[in-house]
Chain A
Amino acid sequence: MTVDGSAPITELKLDRKDFVSDQEVRWCPGCGDYSILAQVQKVVPTLGIPRENFVFVSGIGCSSRFPYYMNTYGFHSIHGRAPAVATGVKLANPHLSVWVITGDGDGLSIGGNHLIHAIRRNIDINIILFNNRIYGLTKGQYSPTSDFGKKTKSTPYGSIDQPINPLCVAIASEATFVARSIDIDTQHLTMVLERAARHKGISFVEVYQNCNIFNDGAFAHFTDRQFRSDRVLYLEHGKPMTFGKDLQKGIRLNNLNPEVVELGRDYSPEDLLVHDEAGAQPTLAYLLTRMHYPDFPVPMGVFRCVETREYSDLLTEQIEEVSRKEGKGNLDSLLAGDETWVIEEEGAILESVSGRERPGEDEESYHPANNLDAHEEPKCAIRRSVLNDRIGEVRPDPPIIASPADSIQSAIERMARERRGAVCVVENDELVGIFTERDVLMRVALKGLDLEKTPISSVMTSNPITLKADATLAYALNQMAVAGFRHLPLMDGKKAVGMVSVKDVVRYMSENMAG
C-alpha cells in the first residue's frame, strides 16, 4: 500500500483513539491479537491518510474479527476470500488503503488459493497474516502451519503433515514486500507495519501471534525477552547479519548454506552475509525463510522489498488505452453480443435441502489449556506487583487542576512552580483534557502562540485515556508502553483525583524490587 496523495493532505490530526471502535473486543484475555490491534491502531494515524479511506477486510477466524475493532470501513467477509474482496475494493477505488487481516487457517488453508493470486498480481493491499499455528476459533485443531508432530484435538498422536511456511509461499508467488514480526515485539511490529503500509504493491506480513488458550508459548522459546537477542535475527537492509546481546554472532554463507559463526578470532563482520531486501532474485529472502530455531536464530524484519508495476495502475491504464482506441464500452451491447444464448428447456428442479444435522453434541469438549485465572501466584516480586497491585497503591500526586479557559502561560507557570509534568483540565467537575510538558514542547514552543491569551483548551489533549484506582499496574504499563503516554489521570468516577506518571510507576516497581 502506498500513502495516496488523492486527498489534499492538510494536517490530519488523527491519533490512535480515532481508530478504536465502540465494539466490545471479544478475544480471549491475553490473546496476542490485542497487541497487533494496538500496533495497527498506532500506525494507521501516522500515514497521512484520512480515516474514511481505510478499509479492513477479513475472512473467518479469531483474527478476522479485527475489522469490528477498527473505527474504519471494513468487511467481515467469507472464509478465505478476504483477498478477493479486498482486490475488488481496491480496483473499484484505488485511492483506498486496503488491509486484509487473516490467519493461518483462513489465509493458508481454505484461502490459500486466493492468497497466492492476490500476491502474484501485486495489487496494492496489505495482507497481515496472524500465525498462531492452531485453529483457535474452532477450539484447537491443527492448522496448516502447525509443527510436524504437534499434538492437537485433531492430531491426538501428533501431526504427520509438513507445515506450510507462509513466507516461502509469498516469495514463490513473487510478493514484492515480505516481512515477519512478533505480536509482543511492539516496536518492531510497528516498524514492519508502517513499512508494509508505505509499500506500493502487495505487502505480505506474517506476525507470530500467541494463542494463549490452545497453543500457548508456540513462539516463546525465541520471542521471550530474555532469549530474544540470542535467538532472533533482526534483518536490516545493507547490514551484516549479526545477533546476540553484544552482536557477537553472525550468519555466514558457506556455499549455498547459511551457518552461525562467532565473531572475534576466526570471523569478522566482513565475512558475514549482508542483508539485501531489494536483490534482483528472491534467493536470499527465500534462504532466510528456511532458518529455524534452534539451528538458527529466527529472522525478523523485511525479507524482501522491491518495486514492480502495481495491479490497479495497470488496470486503469489498460482501460484508458482501450477506451481511447475503441471508444467507451457498452455493457448492454456486450451482454447482447454473439457469445450469448438462451436455454429453451426448463431447468432441473433443485432438490430441497433438508434434514440438516443438529449441531454436535460434544460441544463441551472445550478445555482451555491455559486459563488465566488458574495461574499460580507468581513467585517473582516484580511480576506479582505488576499483575496484582492496583494503581491506587502507587499513590500518585494529586492533580494540578486547571479550567479550559486558563491561559497556556498560567498552566506552564504552575507546572514549573509545582514541579509537575501535567495538568488536568476540568470543566464542571469533569475531566475534559490533559496538558503535559510534552504538549508544551510539541504544540506550544516556537508555535508563535500568545501564551497569555491562548486558552489551554486549544492545545490540550481532549478526552484523555485515564485509569481507575482498581486498575492493575499492568494496565498502566500497557498505556505507557503501547500508547506511549507518560501521564495518566487517576479517576474517581468523572473526577480526576491523581496524576500517575511513568516515573511514579518505575519508582513503585523499584521499591518492590528490594522487597
Chain B
Amino acid sequence: MELAETLKKELVRHLPLPDPIVLTEETPISEAIQKMQEAGRGCILVARDGRLIGLVTERDILVKYLGQPGKTFFTLREIMTTDPKKLSPDASLEKAIQAMSEGGYRHIPLVDQENQICGVVAVRNIVNYIAEHFPTEVFNLPPRLEQKMESPEGA
C-alpha cells in the first residue's frame, strides 16, 4: 500500500503516544515548567473536570512568559491558548498532518465527543511514523552523514 493511502487509513490513536501531562488552569506556571522539564515534554493540556479547555506549549513559555519581561504571569490560565485545535483519536494521520501544516501546530490535543482528553499528538510522532516506513534509508545511516558509503564494502 502506498504510504499516502496508509496515512488516510491509519488512525491517530494507533500511534505510540505517551500519556499527556494534564494540569488545571490554576496551576502555577513554574510548576508546569518543572513538569515539562522533568518529562522532557513541550506541551501541557489544561483541563477542567477532565475536559480540555486549553493548551500550553514551550512556545507559550517563550513568547508570553519569558518574551515579555515587563509583564508578570502566574498561572496557566494567563498564558494558555484557549479552545485550541483538536482532533478525535479516530482522525486519520492525513488529517492530523493537514491540520499541523495548515495551522503551523506542533501539538494537537485528542478529545472525544464530550471533549474529554484522550491524548495529544505531536509532529514528532508523525515524523517518526513516516520515518518507520523507510527504515533502510532513514534509520540505517552512519552517525556522521557525510560518511555514507556509496557501495557495499563489507566490513
Footprint of A on B, CB under 8 Å? 1-4, 6-7, 14, 16, 30, 33-34, 36-37, 40, 42, 58-59, 61-63, 65-69, 94, 97-98, 100-101, 104, 106, 123-124, 126-145, 147-155
Contact = CB atoms under 8 A, between A and B. Distances in A.
A441 B138 contact: no
A456 to B, nearest CB: 13
Interface residues of A, number: 87
Nearest to A184: B135
Contacts of A26: 149, 153-155
Contact of B123 (A35, A413, A471, A502): A502
Given A69-B143, A437-B58, A451-B69, A62 B154 contact: yes
Given A37-B143, A415-B62, A509-B130, A382 B137 contact: no
Contact of A65 (B33, B128, B155): B155
Contact of B152 (A41, A63, A213, A507): A213
Interface string A392-409: 000000000000000001
A469 interface: no
7 contacts: A38-B139, A187-B128, A212-B136, A371-B152, A440-B58, A440-B61, A513-B97
Given A187-B128, A386-B137, A475 B59 contact: no
Given A27-B142, A484-B124, A486-B124, 20 more contacts: A34-B139, A37-B142, A139-B154, A210-B140, A225-B132, A371-B152, A382-B3, A386-B137, A412-B66, A415-B67, A437-B59, A441-B58, A442-B40, A471-B145, A474-B134, A475-B145, A479-B145, A482-B141, A502-B127, A503-B104
Interface string A404-434: 0000010011011100010000000000000
Contacts of B101: 503, 506-507, 510-511
Contacts, number: 222
A38 B139 CA distance: 8
Contacts of A33: 140
B36 A441 contact: yes
Residue with the greatest number of chain B CB neighbours at <10 A, chosen from A29, A415, A480: A29
| Chain B interface, DSSP helix/strand/loop, else mixed | helix
B1 A25 contact: no
B152 A28 contact: yes
A158 interface: no
Interface in A230-263: 245-246
Given A20-B144, A387-B134, A437-B59, A29 B151 contact: yes
B58 A510 contact: no
A139 B65 CA distance: 59
A480 B154 contact: no
B138 A478 contact: yes
Given A380-B4, A382-B3, A183 B139 contact: yes
